Structure 1
């Protein structure tokens, strides 16, 4: 499988601890004291070979960030929408309303006014291939075996035994996962990596205190009464943190200097840093791990503890009891509906939804990238990209043109000199 971001053309993993997947009630207090990031998906992440159906085969993962002080506003916005749709407060909205209706537009406006943001990444079933997904699963297992072999002489027998036990567990989960589950995990991990720089930059500008603590809240896939978490959940937490870290570091993200903007974030998640930038010891570490010189892009990045950021206070929750997940479902499903062409006025809907999205720090990457898992280009001639292009042109501009031009040039040189594909 090609690198996640190098293939986004026209449309622009370290072993982690096992996270504690906690009950909803145990996180309620934490969620009120942190900025919550609600993540959901829309569509079927499986191969589609029928040319007559590919324009309806879009599948999208996305997130909605909700500042802790805005939780009540967002919850009330959802209740107001339910009232307009004659849906009881305790029930979920099963059928998405017209995206051009006054009550849906008002709902989105309320999210904007609450300083929420949305992020999304999409692909199309015609770009997925079950056989190649199976091959990638096998490669992931083999890569972990190769890593253990490489470090065997440098670790104690006890350490190696622990790593081999973890390898057996992950291998079993990978083999048990369906192609659709595995594809979604890949896409969801890519989304998190892709949205981090934009989230940090936006709130560093608008409300730095919200970066003090971030909670990642995912839609639960199984009934909590069932024994043990779903394969999807377990495999996601075992592979996602390392995948996000490798992707984020391999192709550095754009985080501009904002005076005092990241202080709250670094106080909790920084790798013993007192200011933005990558310290010399971290630069050396990255050079040893990736064989690349990151000094040229150091000023547009920051270092932080990925494991703490992505694992602590994170978990899967019941959407029926979590209004934020219901909001994310409405937003991400609406984006996917637009991509499928199931709206009356594409330009109008793109403008409505685009105000929640943030532009990319790179000129060659869009706000909502289409991820192509296997090919050398992210586009496919048979697909219509009109809606995706309209959506990307309507996003909120948080990066200046000057920054985007400079960062795009620097990252292009860095990739050309250091990254082997």
Structure 2
């Protein structure tokens, strides 16, 4: 399974609401890669762009973009997205959220059995605390997106292309030739934090579905992570199979040059589309919401397929039009379960 990730927006705080930034992941079965490339090439040709040059949404006519989304809807690939309104997420609130997250990492440090372990979690906590508000928001959005890809993407594709779940090929847009601070933080923080999340909140699995290919990512009884007990002295692991999140993410992950990756270019166009519709900058925002929603698997009833992330401890009011467009995306999203 190919998973392409890119973001749209800087995630820096803004002075006005509806300053949305978005990050997107496009899950694409490997057997459809050729067709995916053809769809992107057609959009470039229609937009007068060279095949070898990356095409940005600002250079695409709206009708051509809508046609591009309709073509993607004929494939098995699925879109996942997380968005945050920079006008609602202020630095003061972000720093409080960040400090709380850093404190959680060291919450049980004194119970740890080994000094090396105590030093390790302290270093991890310090790394989170040292992130700028902008990078912290982006990292939180990225981790939530990957969590949703694993949770909902696995449930979606096990009913349609179960063999694709035997290998996850993550390709993330590389911003510079040298690894950025965000990329360093992502690599060091994401696997451990997500592993803890999935240990405490196991992956929902569909009874009777074919998880044969995916089973290689499950720990055996002898391999299951026991660090919550042996390292922290906490007994919180249930009877459900534990996933090796480090293997799912780390087995095949690269920060790649988007100019050489049609898949990342598609993720960029999709992230930009989500951001634009939330900012209500299409001429026909409802149609954009319909078409983007048609690429997204359903989540729980009443929950929009685009995950809107906030950091304030106070209840935040989302613009009525954004709420309405999110509802449109939910209505037109793909059924999660295959009817038999």
The reply to whether residue 164 of structure 1 matches residue 125 of structure 2 is no
Against the structure 1 CA distance between its residues 119 and 75, is the aligned structure 2 distance closer, same or farther, given a 3 Å change threshold? same
Question: In the alignment, what sits opposite 2:212?
Answer: 263
Q: Indicate how the Cα distance of structure 1 residues 69 and 105 shifts in structure 2: closer, same or farther if over 3 A, else same.
A: same
Secondary structure at the residue paired with 2:27? strand
- Find 2:190's aligned residue among 219, 240, 245: 240
Deviation at 1:230, TM superposition (A): 1.1
Equivalent positions of 1:392-407 (< 5 A) are: 392-399=330-337
Alignment check: 8 A CA contact 2:27 2:79 kept:
yes
Q: Is the 8 A contact 1:174 1:235 kept in 2?
A: no
Report if aligned partners of 1:221, 1:233 keep a CA contact under 8 Å in 2. Answer: no
Q: C-alpha distance in 2, partners of 1:373/1:99?
A: 34
CA 1:212–1:127: 2 relative to 1, 3 Å: same
In structure 1, what is the equivalent of residue 6 of structure 2? Answer: 40
Once the 2 structures are TM-superposed, how far is the Cα of residue 363 of structure 1 from its aligned partner?
2.4
User: Which secondary structure state, in structure 2, belongs to the residue aligned with residue 118 of structure 1?
Assistant: strand
Structure 2 residue matching 1:342: 3-state secondary structure: coil
Shift in Å at residue 326 of structure 1? 0.3
The number of aligned residues is 336
Alignment partners' CA distance in 1, 2:74 and 2:319? 38
| RMSD, matched Cα | 3.1
- Which residue of structure 2 lines up, in the alignment, with residue 25 of structure 1? none
| TM-score, L = length of structure 2 | 0.87
Residue by residue over 1:118-151, the C-alpha shift from the partner in whole angstroms, topping out at 9 and shown as x without a partner, is: 0011121132121232234344444444544321
How far does residue 377 in structure 1 lie from its aligned partner after superposition?
3.8
**Matching of residue 218 in structure 1 with residue 148 in structure 2:** no
Instruction: Quote the Cα distance in structure 2 between the aligned partners of 1:250 and 1:165.
Output: 21
Q: So what's the TM-score if we normalise by structure 1?
A: 0.71
Aligned equivalent of 1:3? none
Quote the Cα distance in structure 1 between the aligned partners of 2:206 and 2:233: 25
Contact 1:99 1:334 in 2 (8 A): no
Unaligned 5+ runs, structure 2: none
Matches within 5 A, 1:182-221: 182-221=136-175
Preserved contact between residue 293 and residue 333 of structure 2 (Cα < 8 Å): yes
Please give the alpha-carbon distance, in whole angstroms, between the structure 1 residues aligned to 2:42 and 2:158. 30
- Answering whether residue 248 of structure 2 is matched by residue 309 of structure 1, we say yes
Which residue of structure 1 lines up, in the alignment, with residue 84 of structure 2?
123
CA contact (8 A) 1:67 1:116 kept: yes
Distance across 2 between alignment mates of 1:338 and 1:99: 15
Change (3 A) 1:290 1:86: farther
Retained in 2: the 8 A contact 1:59–1:124? yes
Gaps of 5+ in 1: 1-34, 274-278, 402-421
* Native 8 Å contact 2:294 2:329 kept in 1: no
Query: 2:284 matched to 1:345?
Result: yes
Shift of 1:364: 4.9
SS at match of 1:316: strand
* Partners of 1:243 and 1:366 in 2: CA distance: 25
Find out whether 1:68 has 2:30 as its counterpart: yes
**Partner secondary structure for residue 113 of structure 1:** coil
